[in-house]
Amino acid sequence: MYSRTLSAEDVRTVMAADAIDDILAITPDQRTPAQTDALRDHYLRTSDAEYQAIAAKLDAARKHEAEIEAAVPTVMVMQEMSPPRKTYMLKRGAYDAHGDEVSPGVPSILPPLPKNAPPNRLGLARWLTDPGHPLTSRVAVNRFWYQYFGVGLVKTLEDWGVQGEAPSHPELLDWLAAHFMESKWDVKALQRLIVTSATYRQATRYTPQMLERDPENRLLARGPRMRLSAEAIRDNALALGGLLVEKLGGPSVMPYQPAGLWEDVVVGADYPGTKYVQGHGEDLYRRSMYTFWKRTAPPPALNTFDAPEREFCQVRRPQTNTPLQALVLLNDPTYLEASRKLAERMMHEGGSAAEDRVIFAFRLATARTPSPDELRVLRETYDRRLAEFKAKPEAATELLSIGESKRDEKLDVSELAAYTTIASMLLNLDEVITK
């Protein structure tokens, strides 16, 4: 016996047929307008070829329109209610115990709203960027300063209240804030101003007396010296290996991560975002800012370098120094793959001599030439590892197989593996992960 699953259109046809039989049993003068329309629609869809052709084109156009709408990203937009909902003080915080009615406004200790500014979000935005209200600019400038020097002119980035710390250079902070507003909030111009200043371009050298007097460099007597952020460390390694994808925008990606990390935090759940499905191709090498982030299970390679868990807002990151960080740089697939690709660059771009290739990689990673002692250590390590890999070629092949990017099959396996270990050493140097 032949049978098949009915489509949605088949179901509608069968249902319509039953309904049509019932309508036809009614005399025309007793039919309702809706029943008459149903009969007309049934006739057009089953017996009128011209109507059927037009209807098919219309259905196809509607389907195409739906596909276009589904492909366009959507965002939620807030709009003021008209009239605005009344807001009250809540007695003891109870939602149903209304006290005095309150209206939109700003703290009286700060400048008032600009003239003719509406008491809504638009008015608040104009107030925040008003030239007579320097707090927004001061906070922004202070955060940019923190990113370059490791500590803000106001150390407590997250607290500008009475419990926050006073600025170390109040006049400089005021001048930068005013300059930022006068430049029409030009962020790039502000970055250029800071990095080309004599303060930023100082050497990072210091004396024991200077370190004892000013361990955090609050007096700005030397150039900044601090470890890079977790994201910058990863992106820098990918860039040195020629792997970094600099494409802007797009959805979040899931690079390498140990298996099973999400299992304890999404038990029994089965919807998008509950399972970590590792990406491939470009997704493995996008900038770290595009990494998919689950607050209860942050990316371990970034979290190890003090990236926040994002369970709450954290403006100022702590900086720790732990052995686990070195283990990440030496063993994480991202850094081993970046080391292999940097090794390929050494062999293609660094010349023909081993010493020249080591110097080439060292300069790429540190922006300087290695000292004789540093070069000796690296060269001795290369010679030793090359002999080991020649004796155990399977170990070289295993090392070079880490990561999804293809290795250059034309290069000698033992040499490439030896240079990979040198590149891994360079990526693990304090000087490479420190600004």
40 torsion bin: left (phi>0), alpha (psi -120 to 50), beta (else)? alpha
153-159 CB contacts, 8 Å cutoff, 24+ apart: 155/218, 156/316, 157/315, 157/316, 158/313, 158/314, 158/315, 158/316
C-alpha distances (whole Å) from 390 to each of 32, 314, 386, 417 are: 92, 49, 6, 10
118 torsion bin: left (phi>0), alpha (psi -120 to 50), beta (else)? beta
How far is 324 from 190, CA to CA, in rounded Å?
36
Do residues 419 and 379 lie in contact, with contact meaning Cβ atoms separated by under 8 Å? no
Is residue 65 classed exposed, middle or buried when 0-12, 13-18 and 19+ CB atoms within 10 A define those classes? Answer: exposed
Do residues 154 and 164 lie in contact, with contact meaning Cβ atoms separated by under 8 Å? yes
The pLDDT of residue 344 is 96
Do residues 387 and 351 lie in contact, with contact meaning Cβ atoms separated by under 8 Å? no
The pLDDT of residue 14 is 42
The pLDDT of residue 97 is 93
Torsion of CA 303, 308, 309, 314, to 10 degrees: 180
CB atoms inside a 10 Å sphere around CB 229: 19
The pLDDT of residue 410 is 93
How far is 410 from 413, CA to CA, in rounded Å?
9
The pTM score is 0.76
Do residues 364 and 240 lie in contact, with contact meaning Cβ atoms separated by under 8 Å? yes
Q: Which amino acid is at 124?
A: L
C-alpha distances (whole Å) from 193 to each of 189, 317, 433 are: 6, 24, 24
Q: At what angle do helices 33-47 and 49-71 cross, to 10 degrees?
A: 100
The pLDDT of residue 170 is 94
Side-chain-facing half-sphere of 216: CA atoms under 13 Å: 10
Q: What is the pLDDT of residues 288-314, one digit of tens each?
A: 999 998 888 889 999 999 888 887 788
Q: Per-residue pLDDT for the chain (435 aa), expressed as one digit of tens each? A: 334 443 455 445 444 555 777 878 888 888 888 888 888 888 888 888 888 889 889 999 999 999 998 888 888 888 888 888 899 999 998 999 999 999 888 888 888 888 888 888 889 999 999 988 889 999 999 999 999 999 999 999 988 888 889 999 999 999 999 999 999 999 999 999 999 999 999 998 888 998 899 988 999 999 998 899 999 999 999 999 999 999 999 999 999 998 888 877 776 666 666 788 899 999 999 999 999 988 888 899 999 998 888 877 888 888 888 999 999 999 999 999 999 999 999 999 999 999 999 999 999 999 999 999 999 999 999 999 999 999 999 999 999 999 999 999 999 999 999 999 999 999 999 999 998
